[in-house]
Chains A and B, each alone.
Chain A
Amino acid sequence: MIPARFEYYRPKDIAGVLSILEEHGDDARVMAGGHSLIPMMKLRMADVPHLIDLQDVGGMSDVEISAAGIRIGAMVTQHDIIDNEALASVAPILREAALQIADPQVRYMGTVGGNVANGDPGNDMPGLMQCLDATFTVIGADGEREIPARAFYEAAYMTAREDEEVLTAVTVPIPKGGYAYEKQKRKIGDYATAAAAVQIVKEGGSCVSASIAMTNLSDIPIYSEAAGAALVGTSVDDAAIRTAMEAMLGDIDPTEDNRGPVAFKKHVAGVILRRAIERAWSRA
């Protein structure tokens, strides 16, 4: 497959990126690892007359951990996430999720920034970042601004990032309690039929807070506040899990595709959420 012609740029800094975006507007797109964009360009489903490769732009490949939180540069790859012991010890859900993304070759190239910025409902990091209440940093001609992950996604491939802005970092508060990232997929490299990200805090045998987000069950990731709330104050017994599952099913809106009809997706979403809650609770 041969993509349409494009002009290729490899600027050395963000100022260079922004000036190309300014000049060409939505005819230009930035690319990190390219493992979402290049397949779409090959299929000619994405038309990118001006392609801006971010690989030479420095300052976006670090993971910084402090008491205030974790700052992950946009160019940090899934492989970097898996390989980072310090990160895995403070936020093990990140490694657990990254290990379930695509395959080894894709994880060397695929980045956290690309995964969250692309707006593909099938990507795993958006739901995960909503569960963790992350904040995305974007930069444009007028400087930086912060957008909460829970307010970033508007529709499939539509986000709160403007065309002339670049997502540069993801900041995650240090997660507390037990965690699980559970994903059902048809094969290695497939997107989720359903996936769930869960963080639960337990005190004295009962749940004091729970955060739940679902992937690929709507045209955007779904942070289900009601599902989390259904667990708070309970001992996360079967009745509480059922209530959380019902609440989650009220928030998602899956469509039929080659991964199955709506009823099947809702069934799988319930199964996956139950597994994720039980595993997170057992680790809390």
Chain B
Amino acid sequence: MGKKQHYSITVNGKEEEFLTEPRELLIYTLRERLNITGPHIGCDTSHCGACTVTIDGKSVKACTMFVAQANGKDVTTIEGLGGPDDLHPLQTAFKEHHGLQCGYCTPGMITRATKLLEENPDPTEEEIRFGMAGNICRCTGYQNIVKSIQAAAAEMNAAKEAAE
């Protein structure tokens, strides 16, 4: 039972093929098999959101999905959003507005926030707090996370207007 199977998942635009058991949770596939360590394991009980990735346009907690469910899908992690030389506007805003202290929750926060801003490009503070409710931070008290997301939204909207 539960014999190893071939799986194929596209992570940050790169197709990954490997052999594993269906019960492997996606977060372990990413971190331990593919060495993509941006998504973190915080609670491992579907609460904290540190493992948040984007799958087929949805914010998903990678600790609550079996690798078998993700077979054939497109996964984006924090590594796929921007790197040290080309930061995503949310990464820049978190850096400039002190949106993190220890940084453990940050990859999940930023990955979730990309999806939030895609659905609602100009959110109010209340909408940000509601839309980020699946991500827990134990350092910042959330105030600077909200500020960072607001700043990134303004930056992204200005860039979009300039492009038009």
A residues with CB within 8 A of B: 1-8, 10, 34-35, 38-39, 42, 49, 51, 53, 55, 79, 102-106, 108-109, 188-189
**A6 pairs with B65, CB closer than 8 A:** no
9 contacting pairs across A/B (C-beta < 8 A): A5-B21, A35-B64, A39-B46, A102-B134, A103-B133, A104-B132, A105-B58, A106-B61, A189-B134
**A189 pairs with B112, CB closer than 8 A:** no
Give A181 Cβ to nearest chain B Cβ, in Å.
16
Contacts of A39 in B (CB 8 A): 45-46, 64
Instruction: Check A8/B68 contact, CB under 8 A, given A103-B134, A189-B47.
Output: yes
Per-residue CB contact flags for chain B residues 18-43 toward chain A (1 = under 8 Å, else 0) read 00011101000000000000000000
**A106 pairs with B134, CB closer than 8 A:** yes
- Since A5-B21, A105-B49 are in contact, a sample of 8 more A-B pairs with Cβ atoms closer than 8 Å, ordered by chain A residue number, is A34-B64, A39-B46, A42-B44, A51-B66, A103-B134, A104-B59, A104-B130, A105-B112
Give A243 Cβ to nearest chain B Cβ, in Å.
36
**B44 pairs with A105, CB closer than 8 A:** no
Contacts of B121 in A (CB 8 A): none
Answer whether residue B162 sits at the interface, using C-beta atoms and an 8 A cutoff. no
Q: Which 5 A-B pairs have the closest CB atoms?
A: A103-B134, A5-B2, A8-B22, A108-B58, A105-B134
Considering residues B5, B23, B130, which has the most beta carbons from chain A within 10 angstroms of its beta carbon?
A: B23
Contacts of B58 in A (CB 8 A): 79, 105, 108-109
Contact of B133 among A38, A109, A188 (CB under 8 A): A188
**B64 pairs with A4, CB closer than 8 A:** no
**A55 pairs with B112, CB closer than 8 A:** no
Contacts of A42 in B (CB 8 A): 25, 44-45
B residues with CB within 8 A of A: 1-2, 5, 21-23, 25, 44-47, 49, 52, 58-61, 64-66, 68-69, 71, 112, 116, 130-134
Contact of A106 among B2, B44, B46, B132 (CB under 8 A): B46
**B1 pairs with A7, CB closer than 8 A:** yes
**B2 pairs with A6, CB closer than 8 A:** yes
Contacts of B22 in A (CB 8 A): 6-8, 51
Give B39 Cβ to nearest chain A Cβ, in Å.
12
**A103 pairs with B49, CB closer than 8 A:** yes
**B23 pairs with A5, CB closer than 8 A:** yes
Contacts of B130 in A (CB 8 A): 104
Give B132 Cβ to nearest chain A Cβ, in Å.
8
Give B72 Cβ to nearest chain A Cβ, in Å.
9
Contacts of B2 in A (CB 8 A): 5-8
Contact of A10 among B1, B68, B134 (CB under 8 A): B68
**B60 pairs with A108, CB closer than 8 A:** yes
**A6 pairs with B23, CB closer than 8 A:** yes
A103 to B48 Cα, complex, angstroms: 10
Contacts of A2 in B (CB 8 A): 23, 25
